[in-house]
Structure 1
Amino acid sequence: MRIVLGVGGGIAAYKVASLLRLFTEAGHHVTVIPTEAATRFVGTATWEALSGNPVSNSVFDDVHQVNHVRLGHEADLVVIAPATADLLAKAATGQAGDLLTNTLLMAHGPVLFAPAMHTEMWQHPATRANVETLRGRGAAVLEPASGRLTGSDSGPGRLPEPDAIFDAAMALVHGQTDFQLPLAGKTVTISAGGTREPLDPVRFLGNRSSGKQGVALAVAARNAGATVRLLSAHMEVPPPPGVDVVNVETALQLREAALAAAVDSDVVIMSAAVADFRPADISDTKIKKRDDTADPVITLVRNPDILQELVERRNQGIAGPAAGGQLIVGFAAETGDQHGDVLAYAEAKLQRKGCDLLVVNHVGSDKVFGKDTNSVVILARSGSEPQEASGTKADVSAAIISRIGFELNQVSPRA
């Protein structure tokens, strides 16, 4: 497939190099057309090296090939990233002052704009009118992601992650138009990994959680356009780029972080493996093993039920962007026994906790923990049919985030 990749003059231009790599590694022929301003952020040598094709932004280069007409005619897809406020305005008003804007006027195939700019610029009536004009003409304009912008500011206007733009572009080529980022403008808090409860300065009570599923969820939520906070307990994998990370160790620390983050979160996903119990007493020194003393007795006390407390605070209007407007997702790592199977225990837990969705794992010594694949069942408090998802943990996360997007689009508030 022949793709024209137009690069606007914004700081997010550096991220488009990764998008270009995704296109070329998928076997597509890519012609990069940066604006003059874009070359101040990323030089033409970078685009030529990554694309394997010559790069120009002038209508006067290779005039004999009539590039300002040919490129648009031949392109199967045109992607503009970052689509700055200036580029959106020029495209909406039909300007043709350089090679990129000429190519846009000549484009016969689908066109995808991935905006990136400061929040006030994105929300300005002029920009919103330009976006509606372009959409009205059949162009696809993604909603920008929310998150950290240039400087200390944060809000909607961040360029979506390269793989999210890539997925939208491929969907558009195949005639799918319902690919707008389902969590654009939302704040999502995700807990991941396993908590550790100290016995002494050396030892702790822990669990087998690797954090892989929580990290995959953070990636999926980020790619869906959300601002993501990752509450990271012990993990065997690093947190993904593009998310805010809060490090915790114990269940009490996770509780404090979760309650604070939930205050302005649209979605809270509690995927961390939280210890149900902690030692009643923590030794200041290492517990010694001596022949002349009895074996130590460790007394355990219950940890707070973080998920249930989050639900109660949401229902009281203490947390969330608006009373009843927050969606809470729990995870249940279950095993069956002689008294019931995994789903029976999970259904009882869903009713007891009161969360909106419960993602159920059947765990064991050789299942889920530390693996790259997973198989889950998603239960809903609304009573809808259970939903199964399996595959890699990225596949499972995509299904969970898709279900969350669906739930958020339901008009009835949660009580």
Structure 2
Amino acid sequence: MLQGKKILLGVSGSIAAYKAATLTRLLVKEGAIVKVIMTPAAADFITPLTLATLSKNEVPLHISDHNSWNNHVMLGRWADVMLIAPASANTIAKMANGLCDNLLLATYLSATCPVLFAPAMDEDMWKHPATRQNIARLLQYGHQQIPVAAGELASGLIGEGRMAEPENIVALLRRHFSVAASARKPLDGKIAVVTAGPTIEHIDPVRYISNHSSGKMGIAIAEALADAGAQVKLVLGPTNLTTHHNGIDIIPVQSAEDMFRSVIAVYPLSDIVVAAAAVADYRPVQIADKKIKKGEDKFSISLEKTHDILRTLGNNKGPQQLLVGFSLETNNEREYALKKLRDKNLDMIVMNSLADPGAGFNHDTNKVTLFDNKGKERDIPLKSKQEVARDIVSAIIELQHA
């Protein structure tokens, strides 16, 4: 179960740090790819050179080592599991409270993978109410605690608090990956970006141009993607709706320019993009800094084009990225949708029409037709937007495996 698994081993300052050498050797023997990061205090118990030799990877110690300042986020994304062993009382307390004063903690706070930790400390420290509270908080975060062992402690006392033996930790990791394999979701490990809602383009401090989009469809798609295992970045325009799904990070925006910049920032790391937002095609050339007063019988505003987000994404799409657009029309729906699919280098387009009763803006239902770049067409009848979202995500999953 560990063959080819990427394991990030964090070693903190505990006498049990010496066990990290055996643990590293066993993991490598099982076929795992092991990278080790240490706290400065851990280096008082075992040298980085020892663990670098056993893991066959450099072991950074400080946040400035080996470009770690730039790379600790990617290191946290690289791993299939982050294993902190030993996890001292001090490191556990910092993890529980979000402190970040060394490389291990900076990487921990950036980790998007499951986190397992093996406590190691004296019995009185282990049983202290503060430690118990910190452990409880880490469990609330969804982390997995490796049970401590009882026996002779560094203080010379006999009791609980010993770090689990490396062989037991390896066995637990095997079980972890076995359970994960049986519970795997189709989009596990994928990063998805969804745009939703309207944009607003200011005319003056009190007026703006917008549209009737509520964001319901885009939010439903974001939730369906997260339910399928994806980590979702929801770029959400101004709406009174939101979501509290654990797998969704919301990036709030207002204008088309805000949405463009936010999407472009997260696009390079994304695997899937679903552009469901109703983005303004034009914006005022100038925004008045004071309220425009009523005057002449006729009043005109000069407009300029906004960035074409979909076209920009399509022009810069990588071979492994999947791009889905929306086409909401009032006439010639099929013609316009297929043209948009081709012209903007999309993998799939979702077509719906304001002419269909119960579809379009502000409804709880929708009726759509899906066209993909392989020529497949799929009609989805009038359903709740949540059901339509699941159908769209099913089509995305099929395209991912085509």
Q: Normalising to structure 1: TM-score of the pair? A: 0.54
Mark the runs of 5 or more structure 2 residues left unpaired by the alignment.
1-94, 96-131, 148-168
Equivalent residue, structure 1, for 2:28: none
Q: Looking at CA atoms only, which structure, 1 or 2, has the larger radius of gyration?
A: 2
Structure 1 residue 330 displacement after superposition: 0.5
8 Å contact kept, 2:359–2:367: no
Structure 1 residue 296 displacement after superposition: 1.7
Structure 1 residue 245 displacement after superposition: 1.1
Structure 1 residue 193 displacement after superposition: 0.2
What fraction of aligned residue pairs are identical, expressed as a percent? 33
8 Å contact kept, 1:276–1:302: yes
Equivalent residue for 1:306, pick from 304, 309, 325: 309
Quick one: distance in 1 between partners of 2:241 and 2:215?
7
Q: 1:295 to 1:134 in 2, by over 3 A?
A: closer
Superposed CA offset, 1:159-179 (max 9, x none): xxxxxxxxxxxxxxxxxxxxx
Q: 1:359 to 1:285 in 2, by over 3 A?
A: same
8 Å contact kept, 1:131–1:141: no
Equivalent residue, structure 2, for 1:328: 323
Equivalent residue, structure 1, for 2:376: 384
User: Matched residue of 1:324: which SS?
Assistant: coil
Structure 1 residue 284 displacement after superposition: 1.0
The alignment of Structure 1 onto Structure 2 pairs a total of residues equal to 249
Q: 1:201 to 1:213 in 2, by over 3 A?
A: same
Superposed CA offset, 1:303-352 (max 9, x none): 121001011111xxxxxxxx41110110111111xxxx311221111111
Equivalent residue for 2:204, pick from 200, 203, 218: 200
8 Å contact kept, 1:350–1:381: yes
Quick one: distance in 2 between partners of 1:273 and 1:253?
13
Quick one: distance in 1 between partners of 2:400 and 2:231?
15
Q: 1:127 to 1:352 in 2, by over 3 A?
A: farther
Structure 1 residue 367 displacement after superposition: 3.6
Q: 1:84 to 1:232 in 2, by over 3 A?
A: same
Mark the runs of 5 or more structure 1 residues left unpaired by the alignment.
1-10, 12-36, 43-81, 88-123, 144-180, 315-322, 411-415
Structure 1 residue 128 displacement after superposition: 5.7
Equivalent residue for 2:269, pick from 264, 269, 280: 264
User: Matched residue of 1:354: which SS?
Assistant: coil
Equivalent residue, structure 2, for 1:406: 398
- The 5-angstrom pairing of residues 104-143 of structure 1 reads 126=171, 129-130=174-175, 141-143=182-184
8 Å contact kept, 1:389–1:399: no
Structure 1 residue 129 displacement after superposition: 3.3
Q: 1:127 to 1:363 in 2, by over 3 A?
A: farther
Q: 1:215 to 1:133 in 2, by over 3 A?
A: closer
User: Matched residue of 1:263: which SS?
Assistant: helix
Quick one: distance in 2 between partners of 1:217 and 1:274?
17
Superposed CA offset, 1:1-47 (max 9, x none): xxxxxxxxxx9xxxxxxxxxxxxxxxxxxxxxxxxx99x859xxxxx
Quick one: distance in 2 between partners of 1:366 and 1:282?
36
The answer to whether residue 251 in structure 2 is matched with residue 246 in structure 1 is yes
Quick one: distance in 2 between partners of 1:334 and 1:375?
13
Equivalent residue, structure 2, for 1:342: 333
The answer to whether residue 387 in structure 2 is matched with residue 395 in structure 1 is yes
Quick one: distance in 1 between partners of 2:271 and 2:179?
29
Equivalent residue, structure 2, for 1:190: 194
Matched to 1:392, the amino acid is: S
Matched to 2:232, the amino acid is: V
Quick one: distance in 2 between partners of 1:196 and 1:134?
46
8 Å contact kept, 2:315–2:344: no
The answer to whether residue 219 in structure 2 is matched with residue 215 in structure 1 is yes
The answer to whether residue 250 in structure 2 is matched with residue 255 in structure 1 is no
The answer to whether residue 354 in structure 2 is matched with residue 363 in structure 1 is yes
Q: 1:83 to 1:232 in 2, by over 3 A?
A: closer
Quick one: distance in 1 between partners of 2:213 and 2:336?
20
Superposed CA offset, 1:276-301 (max 9, x none): 111122111111113xx352211111
Equivalent residue, structure 2, for 1:372: 364
Q: 1:194 to 1:132 in 2, by over 3 A?
A: closer
8 Å contact kept, 1:182–1:402: no
Q: 1:84 to 1:342 in 2, by over 3 A?
A: same
Structure 1 residue 382 displacement after superposition: 1.6
The answer to whether residue 281 in structure 2 is matched with residue 287 in structure 1 is no
Equivalent residue, structure 1, for 2:233: 229
| CA RMSD, Structure 1 to Structure 2 (Å) | 3.2
Structure 1 residue 370 displacement after superposition: 0.6
